[in-house]
Chains A and B, each alone.
Chain A
Amino acid sequence: MKKTNNTTSGFLSQLPKNIFSGFVVSLIALPLGLGLALASEAPPISGVIASVVGGIIVSIFGGSKVTITGPGNGLVVVLLGAITTLANGDLYQGYIFTLAAIICSGALMIIIGQLRLGILSDFFPSSAIQGMLAAIGISIFAKQFHVMLANTSIKGDTISLLTDIPHSISLLFKPEYSAIAALVGVVSLLIMFFYGKIRNKYFQLVPAPMWIVLIAVGLSYYYEFFSSAPYPIDDSLLVQIPNDVFSNFPTPDFSLILDFKFIGVVIAITLISSIESLLSIKAVDKLDPLKRRSNINKDLTALGIASIVSGFLGGLNVVTVIARSSVNVNNGGTNRTSNFFHAVFLILFVVLFQDQLKRIPLTALAAILVYTGYKLAAPKNLKIVAKIGKEQLIIFFATIIATITTNLITGILIGILTTIIIHFILNKSVLFFIRNLFKPNVLMFKEGFNDTYFVSIKNFSSFLNYSRLKRKLDTIPENQDAIIDFSLCDFVDYTVQESLLGYQETFKRKGGSFEITGLDIHGTSSEHPLAIRSLIPFSKKIKIGAKSNLTKRQKDLQNIANNFSWKYDPKKDHDVSGLHDFVFFKTKKINYLNNSIYDSKSIFRISDTEFSEGEFIARTLVRTTIMTIKLKTEVPKFTLDKEGLLEFIYKFSGFKDILISGHPDFSKRFFLLGEKPEKIKLFFTNELVLFLESNPYYHIECNGSYLLVMRKERLASIKEIKALLDYGTRLEKVISSIQYEELLLKSPKIKS
């Protein structure tokens, strides 16, 4: 009972913040809703209806916390295509058909949500999605640029629209042209671009799109009250809003429901709205101040319901939108009520300011969309993609070109196909993928002693089979430690790595750790940290260990080294002769050491090593992280192991556990072995025993002048390396404080 009280009072205390942030969001949602609807050739109010319905329904049924829902950018292209083509050019009939398509797609979304298929969105390669978004951006930009310059009559496909841009600009200088409208558009665009640069508290209170609306409406009032000249913007360039918005709804026309073209539209709407929504939810989850995990399937269901309702009311379909959601978080939105209130404020605006809304010039709204399109297609994205690798650039451009010249579905399919072909070429094998595609390649288990989740991936890991990995990763609580090991994996693509990076951030935020191991030895296609990694050599392979091409783990190692003013060397060192002295490595073939960090005096050295058991026979390769410590004085050789962990000591058969007198607990817990028991007993002083007893367990071995410290037979995570480093340095202190020579002299029993 008390708990509910708490949450209720918590809810109430959060309410003002959420109402405020809902208000700010509605300021953006209003112009965007009108603009997106206009860009789709739908009645302007349909965008606002989608926002209102989305805000109310998704805030009640949804599964995410701080997202805002409404009409989406990505849909503009699909809806525009549908409205203009479904009824062969009759815009109103096309709109009615499209409403039916929106309702059908809503039903599909509900099915996807109920079948919990939200995970399928991970089936798309990252670069192809980016290419698709860029193509959408280009399409919006191309069309709206003309509208912004008050040239509304222009038609054609994206490419001809782009090539016509100079023509529209030249029109501006003709005397009969309505230059004021175009001027409003250009000024609006400048406001969008420079809004972020003006760091004024009061100016920033109102979002940029609202400034544009305020200025444009203000201008019309100026002409009405202060200027004798007539309002220079023609009625056809102003927003048309029916007077009976909330009473006279259009009726969707389902007569095309079995038509091939109609079904294509339904699929496209569903595909794009699912992808856009899921991308937004994923991104917004990273902003959530309370670090909650959104239920994407519940959200998809809610978006489906909202789209159906919106469609019946004459609105566009409802998706989760990233820009408005992030504004919501920035203004203090903490729960779903902000989405609800954004809808309430929108209703108020439409009811109270209907007259003012009709004064907004289309050119101003088009300017907002030009900016949105530019943002989607931003050349900056291109640079990011190019850095990851040339092959990503090919995928990116193939998708863009295919999307612009054909349609979205063909575009994304070509993007997927290009990615697959590039993966085939990079790996020089088709069979490799076919053979391993359906194999369950992910293993997860919880390591018994420290509760770390260990996930091992083998064969290959790309967007094709990423959902399997994701399913496993999703079941790891983010406040735990997880290690993702790719040692057995021959090929890892960019989509997977990018997504893992997202996990890494989430785990970090929630107090866990998420470490990726086993990628350090793969070859890469570029110097970017997220570049495709493959064990199969690339034709022009970047040299492994090149300084600029380090994995996350390697960079972290470098940072550790820097913090201690140690040195870091990622290169493989094949000279491992020193290690063979240790009993542990006696029967193992050490291939190389890499990722070494060491201090300037070379006393401590932590490195990854790869070895195989037994000479000659190629057994499974094992990679593990070890620490070696150079000792100041000669001490007896010994091996110290946890009692019962026989795997390390079978080579010692014949030796007996050495008992240290006065420390029964120690002797019980540890297996101590060595050739000279008397000397070892002398060496294990009270301090050393106490140190070993009070610290976590490590396998320690001494070959006389060096110590070998390790935990287990796998690569250590960064967290574990830090612990190892700390343990090793303290152990060295304890050991160097033991006056072994003196003890030896004092003890008459032992004669060397």
Chain B
Amino acid sequence: MNELPHHKFNTILIGVAFSPNLKNNIFEAMRMVDFFDSKMIIVHVGEKTNEKEDNIKKLISGFSDDDEKVNVIWKQGDPVTVIIETARENNADLIMLGAIPREDFLKFYIGSIARKITRNAHCSVLLLIKPSEDLRPCNHIVVNGLKDEATQKTILDSFEVAQNLGAQKLTIVEEISRQEVKVIVEDDQSLLKDTLIKEQLAQKEDLRVQHILNDVPEDLKTGILIKTQSIFGKRGYSIGHYAKVVAADLLIMNAPKRTTFLDRIFLHDLEYILSELPTDVLIMR
């Protein structure tokens, strides 16, 4: 009943710097291009030199002879605007960023670029905690099931991503915050009330997610074990914690919107994830 775009990601863009991570970043991107059968744009913000060009050519040569598929763009300027602008100009639908596990003060600069791109890009963003040369299987995907209009689309898209990446398990996480429970546990009675309300909220949330799941075409669900899980914690933050606890391979989140006041709060939630990446994170737009 829902019209799905056939390929979620048609054009994947990756911004590269000539750091030791270059090879890993490009290899990761090339694998994604493979999985989604899409085009790839490599953007380097900086001067174009023969040495650099050879370097990149060498790296992508092992992957594709098809020149149409890979497009290397050289541009000067502020990395954030260049990458965002290039993505828009080329209609990219996924930007890949190799992040660092925890942003130390020394490496903060790189981190802040990644953050700015994540916040302002027009398309989805994939943040990799540790880009690697080898293929890592993506077995378990955790998706947010927030009560948000974007959630339905995010969940639908997640199934497509899961199919493309060959994931076996997909957990949809509903976050229940203390504010929703509205009970402060003080004694046995309030504890009972709290437990009941939480049970009801969990059921309600579960029902909501089940409704969304019913709309997902069967062929997207085959071969994937679907689980729903209610967690109690800070909205937007605890899901990252959960992904870490269950050792998920990918966390898929709604994108922040910057229109209303409420969404600003949500933006704040995403900042939590960005400041402490639990695993690879895909921000869906």
User: Measuring CB to CB, which residues of chain A are less than 8 angstroms from any residue of chain B?
Assistant: 63, 116, 292-298, 431, 439-446, 448, 454, 456, 458, 471-472, 474-475, 477, 485, 488, 587, 613-614, 616-620, 622, 644-647, 650, 713-714
Among B105, B134, B198, B231, point to the contact of A475 (Cβ < 8 A): B198
Residues of B within 8 A of A295 (CB): 186-187, 190
Smallest CB gap from B184: residue in A = A116
Once the chains bind, are B272 and A477 in contact (CB under 8 Å)? no
Q: Does B58 contact A (CB under 8 A)?
A: no
Residue B266 interfacial (CB < 8 Å):
no
Cβ–Cβ contact B130 & A445, under 8 A: no
Check if B132 is an interface residue, CB within 8 A of chain A.
Answer: yes
How far is B275's CA from A441's CA once the two chains are assembled, in angstroms? 13
Given pairs A620-B278, A647-B225, 18 additional interface contacts (CB within 8 A): A116-B184, A294-B187, A296-B186, A440-B234, A443-B233, A445-B229, A446-B230, A448-B229, A458-B241, A475-B191, A475-B195, A485-B245, A613-B247, A616-B132, A616-B134, A647-B139, A647-B169, A713-B246
Instruction: Report if A471-B187 is in contact (Cβ < 8 Å); known contacts: A440-B238, A443-B242.
Output: no
Give A296 Cβ to nearest chain B Cβ, in Å.
Answer: 7
A443 CB contact (under 8 Å) in B134, B241, B279: B241
Residues of B within 8 A of A644 (CB): 225
The one of A439, A472, A645 that contacts B237, using a Cβ cutoff of 8 Å: A439
A714 CB contacts on chain B under 8 angstroms: 245
Beta-carbon nearest neighbor of A446 in chain B: B230
**Residues 109-143 of B contacting A (Cβ, < 8 Å):** 130, 132, 134, 136-137, 139-140
Question: How far does the Cβ of A142 sit from chain B's closest Cβ, in whole Å?
Answer: 39
Name the residue on B nearest A444 (C-beta): B232
Residue of B nearest to A471 (CB): B178
Interface size on B, residues (CB 8 A): 46
* Bound Cα distance from A69 to B242, whole angstroms: 44
Cβ–Cβ contact A443 & B186, under 8 A: no
Residues of A within 8 A of B233 (CB): 440, 442-444, 472
Residues of A within 8 A of B191 (CB): 293, 474-475, 477
Instruction: Please determine whether A650 and B139 come into contact, CB atoms closer than 8 angstroms.
Output: yes
- Classify the interface of chain A: helix, strand, loop or mixed: loop
A647/B168 in contact, CB under 8 A: yes
Residue in contact with B231 in the complex, picked from A439, A445, A474, CB distance below 8 Å: A445
Instruction: Give the interface of B toward A (CB within 8 A).
Output: 105, 130, 132, 134, 136-137, 139-140, 168-169, 178, 184-188, 190-192, 194-195, 198, 202, 223-225, 227, 229-234, 237-238, 241-242, 244-247, 249, 272, 276, 278-279
Given contacts A292-B188, A647-B169, A650-B168, contact A445 B232 (CB under 8 A): yes
Interchain CB contact under 8 A, B245 and A488: yes
* Complex: A608 Cα to B57 Cα, angstroms: 47
List, in ascending order, chain A residues with CB within 8 A of B140's CB.
647
Known contacts A443-B238, A475-B191; is A116 also within 8 Å of B186 by CB? Answer: yes
Which A residue's beta carbon lies closest to that of B139?
A647
Residue of A440, A471, A477, A647 with most partner-chain B CB within 10 A: A440
A293→B132 contact, CB < 8 A? no
CA distance A475 to B186 in the complex (A): 9
Whether A617 contacts B234 in the complex (CB less than 8 A), given A295-B187, A456-B245, comes out as no
Say yes or no: A617 contacts B225, CB within 8 Å. no
* A58 CB → nearest B CB, Å: 15
Q: How far is the CB of B88 from chain A (nearest CB, A)?
A: 33
* Contact assessment for B247 and A645 in the assembled complex, using a CB-CB cutoff below 8 Å: no
Are the C-beta atoms of A713 and B247 separated by less than 8 Å?
Answer: yes
**Bound complex: CA of A444 vs CA of B188, how far in Å?**
20
- Residues of the A chain whose Cβ atoms lie less than 8 Å from the Cβ of B198: 475
Given contacts A444-B233, A475-B191, contact A622 B225 (CB under 8 A): no
Measured CB to CB, the nearest residue on chain A to B131 is A617
**A442 — nearest CB in chain B belongs to which residue?**
B233
Contact A646 B237 (CB under 8 A): no
How far apart are the CA atoms of A689 and B8 in the complex, in Å? 45
Determine the distance from Cα of A295 to Cα of B231 in the docked complex, in whole angstroms.
26
21 CB-based A-B contacts, threshold 8 Å: A292-B187, A293-B191, A295-B187, A296-B186, A439-B237, A440-B238, A441-B241, A443-B231, A448-B229, A454-B245, A477-B191, A617-B130, A618-B130, A619-B247, A620-B279, A622-B247, A644-B225, A645-B225, A646-B168, A646-B224, A646-B225
Find chain B residues with CB under 8 A from A116 CB: 184, 186
In the complex, chain A residues whose CB is within 8 Å of the CB of B246 = 713
Query: Who on chain A is nearest to B278 by CB?
Result: A620
| Complex interface: chain B residues within 8 A of A439 (CB) | 237, 272, 276
Most buried by A among B140, B237, B245: B245
Contact check, A617 vs B272: say whether CB atoms are below 8 A apart: no
Contact across chains for B237 and A63 when beta carbons are under 8 A apart: no
Nearest-neighbor residue (CB-CB) of B102 within chain A: A435
Question: Which residues of A are found within 8 Å of B190, using beta-carbon distances?
Answer: 295
3 pairs of A and B residues whose beta carbons are closest in the complex? A440-B234, A295-B187, A443-B241
Give the nearest-CB partner of A650 in chain B.
Answer: B168
Task: Determine the chain B residues whose CB is within 8 A of the CB of A292 once the complex forms.
Answer: 187-188
CB neighbours of A618 from chain B (8 A): 130
In contact, A293 and B231 (Cβ under 8 angstroms): no
A485 to B245, CA, bound (A): 9
Chain A's closest residue to B228 (CB) is A448
The reply to whether A475 and B225 form a contact with Cβ atoms under 8 Å apart is no
Which of B186, B224, B227, B237 touches A448 (beta carbons < 8 Å)? B227
B186–A298 CB distance below 8 A? yes
Question: How far is B139's CA from A644's CA once the two chains are assembled, in angstroms?
Answer: 14
CB distance from A402 to the nearest CB of B (A): 33
Nearest to B247 among chain A residues (CB) is A620
Contacts of B134 in A (CB 8 A): 614, 616-617
In whole angstroms, how far apart are the Cα atoms of A645 and B195 in the complex? 29
**In the bound complex, what is the Cα–Cα distance between A157 and B86 (angstroms)?**
75
Query: In whole Å, how far is A495's beta carbon from the nearest beta carbon of chain B?
Result: 21
